[in-house]
Structure 1
Amino acid sequence: MQTRLIKTEGLSQQVLEAGEGPLVLLIHGFPELGVSWRAQVEALGAAGYRAVAPDMRGYGGTERPQGVAAYSILNLVGDMVDLVRALGARTCTVVGHDWGAPVAWHCALLRPDIFTAVAGLSVPFQPRRPGGPPTPAMAALARKAGQGDLYINRFQAPDAHRDLEADPATTLRKLFFAYDGATPAERRSTGFMPEGVSLLDSIDDAATLPPWMSQDHFQEYVDAFAAAGFDGPLNWYRALDLNWSLTAFVQDQRIAVPALFVVGENDPVRHYAGRQEATMKDWVPKLARMEVLPGAGHWIQQERADAVNALLLDFLAGL
């Protein structure tokens, strides 16, 4: 494996890559990095694929444009189109986890000529819904259910990144702990918090690193987020309503390429995104497989690296 910078038309992107063969792009989520895919880059590279995992826009060693508008879904898909071109490829399979999953789904939705197959981890495809932008609807549903606020709504505040940046090590330790499958259910986050209680305050102060994360690997995240901050990553969330306004042209469009979906049984994201799992086949007609990994939490490509690698390789072999 090697790490290098690639200058595309849009921005300079840092990538982790290995192997030769058909291109597979691996898109991370929040609060992650390209190195979150290290086990997959190694396995896919060894199996005859060219595996490339970028630090996404606003993260790690990749450039961090200013302003919410720079983080729309169109920008994020465009970054991947540019990256495929810069890598000298014409087509690829795209794989995304967490926030990377919506980017991967939209790569396949918007440019099926380039992204000829797609795999989403943890977050199912969520089609654009008529009736208005998503964040007011999220807030109303949380209040109606008596669950306070969803962290996604809290992240809309222009200064929401400040709390996360005050102590990056504590922030990251709590987030990885709160969404991990090995964490006892009563100590896992649901994504909801009482009014007036911050996301970090809603997570146990005694949070420890997940069993799969070494101190050295954790330090990679701490160093990256201490240097780059959390403003860029939170702009992905702040652009949700903008994305809704920009994507009316794909209303009711379905993903036409072969697809795979994998989710952890105990992933807290299922509390607020899981209902889309039941309708996945309606919106992704070529969904080849939907796999729920027993006991796994949110960070499945690291929690269950061997299982995820096997599922990806089986999916790729069947294309």
Structure 2
Amino acid sequence: MDQLEHQILEVNGIDLSLYSAGPKMGRALWLLHGFPECWHSWRQQIAPLAAAGYRVLIPEMRGYGQSSAPRDPAAYDVLTICADIQAAMDQLGQHQVCVVGHDWGAPIAWHLALLEPARVNAVVGMAVPFGGRPKQPATDIMRQLYAERFHYILHFQEPGVAEAEMDADIPRTLRMMMYNTSAAAPKDHFLQEKPAGAGLFDGMHDPGTLPVWCDAAAFTEYLHTFKDRGFYGAVNWYRNFERNWQRTETLADRQIEQPALFLLGDRDPVGTLEAYTLKQMPKRIAQLEQHVLKDCGHWIQNEQAEQVNQRLLDFLARHYVAT
């Protein structure tokens, strides 16, 4: 971590904050974080991957940290965010890359693989599977299924509501999100039923302490990511399901052809939410390798860092050799 470099790239109409490590001539390996996280969520992967010879690139995604955070929710659709990373790759002269994404970073990684079959040689997704373009926007389906029940994604749709709850006490928000979707929480506790109109944190437990996989120094980096502007940029990603569906029509019939690795924690509530997508994934990814990690919640690269690193390095050695 002492060898980290930092720069601000002007790409796609925004400033993109980018950390990097490893040999400058090493093959490019992008690590894309999710919600509500930061570049530092990859802290346990950076050194092993750099030591293996990869040029590791870790952006603060649009809406986070030192990167730009437009107010307009429409500025956060999946193809626009992909274009941020594509423009950065162009600026850095990268013609061969591997992309790794966790949580919201996973859909970006999957779509980069679809959009850039010649440049993206291999792809890794964690926590969020790829099932192709649905027959209708996911939020339309949610509104049908959750007309009288709470769903956090539907709760996120009204600008200003969820971020006000989250911004009121940022350390508490992060602690609660980390705990309630981790292996330490009761299984699928995050998905407990509550009535429509409930608040985001109703019924959620605040452990009051940090999880074992996030020490005080790491937590400081998470706090730094959100302290100045809060969560509005991060939550705006969720306000584009319909726009994403509209803009990806030309990708509807495409299959991911590159070697692909998918990792999921056995106690990750996303596994329940995305059960149907998980079944569809082998039909949409031609060369798919999947692993479920035991005693692991949503924060997979931190909760089971050693296992994740072993899986990553093994996959890369077979499909994206460093030199």
Instruction: Please say whether Structure 1 and Structure 2 have the same fold, judged by a TM-score greater than 0.5.
Output: yes
The corresponding residue for 2:308 is 308
The corresponding residue for 1:120 is 125
Q: Unaligned regions of 5+ residues in structure 2, if any?
A: none
Aligned residues between the structures: 313
The corresponding residue for 1:99 is 104
Q: Alpha-carbon deviation of 1:88?
A: 2.6
* 2-structure distance, mates of 1:171, 1:293: 26
Equivalent residue in structure 1 for 2:70, among 41, 61, 65: 65
* 2-structure distance, mates of 1:124, 1:93: 17
Equivalent residue in structure 1 for 2:47, among 29, 34, 42: 42
TM-score by length of 1: 0.94
The corresponding residue for 1:295 is 295
Q: Is the 8 A contact 1:101 1:120 kept in 2?
A: yes
How has the CA–CA distance of structure 1 residues 214 and 267 changed in structure 2, closer, same or farther, with 3 Å as cutoff?
Answer: same
Alignment-mate amino acid for residue 110 of structure 2: W
How has the CA–CA distance of structure 1 residues 236 and 191 changed in structure 2, closer, same or farther, with 3 Å as cutoff?
Answer: farther
Give the alignment of 1:72-151 within 5 angstroms.
Answer: 72-130=77-135, 132-143=136-147, 148-151=149-152
Q: Alpha-carbon deviation of 1:49?
A: 0.6
- Partner of 1:266, secondary structure, is coil
Q: Is the 8 A contact 1:116 1:258 kept in 2?
A: yes
Give the alignment of 1:135-284 within 5 angstroms.
Answer: 135-143=139-147, 148-160=149-161, 161-185=163-187, 188-190=189-191, 193-284=194-285
The corresponding residue for 2:18 is 15
* 2-structure distance, mates of 1:208, 1:301: 20
* 2-structure distance, mates of 1:256, 1:314: 19
How has the CA–CA distance of structure 1 residues 239 and 19 changed in structure 2, closer, same or farther, with 3 Å as cutoff?
Answer: same
The corresponding residue for 1:6 is 8
Deviations 1:181-214, CA, capped at 9 Å, x for gaps: 122337x312754323212123113453211111
Q: Is the 8 A contact 1:177 1:207 kept in 2?
A: no
Q: Is the 8 A contact 1:268 1:298 kept in 2?
A: yes
Q: Alpha-carbon deviation of 1:62?
A: 0.9
* 1-structure distance, mates of 2:272, 2:167: 26
- Partner of 2:154, secondary structure, is helix
Pairwise CA RMSD:
1.6
Q: Is the 8 A contact 1:174 1:208 kept in 2?
A: no
Q: Is the 8 A contact 1:182 1:211 kept in 2?
A: no
Deviations 1:263-310, CA, capped at 9 Å, x for gaps: 0000011121132112211100111x1000011000000111111111
How has the CA–CA distance of structure 1 residues 140 and 207 changed in structure 2, closer, same or farther, with 3 Å as cutoff?
Answer: farther
* 1-structure distance, mates of 2:141, 2:300: 28
* 1-structure distance, mates of 2:271, 2:131: 13
* 1-structure distance, mates of 2:92, 2:84: 12
The corresponding residue for 2:318 is 318
Alignment-mate amino acid for residue 127 of structure 2: S
* 1-structure distance, mates of 2:79, 2:306: 32
Task: Select between 166-175 and 270-279 the one with higher mean Cα deviation.
Answer: 270-279
Alignment-mate amino acid for residue 210 of structure 1: P
Q: Is the 8 A contact 1:135 1:153 kept in 2?
A: yes
Q: Unaligned regions of 5+ residues in structure 1, if any?
A: none
- Partner of 1:199, secondary structure, is coil
Q: Alpha-carbon deviation of 1:255?
A: 0.8
* 2-structure distance, mates of 1:44, 1:205: 34
* 2-structure distance, mates of 1:191, 1:27: 28
* 1-structure distance, mates of 2:59, 2:157: 25
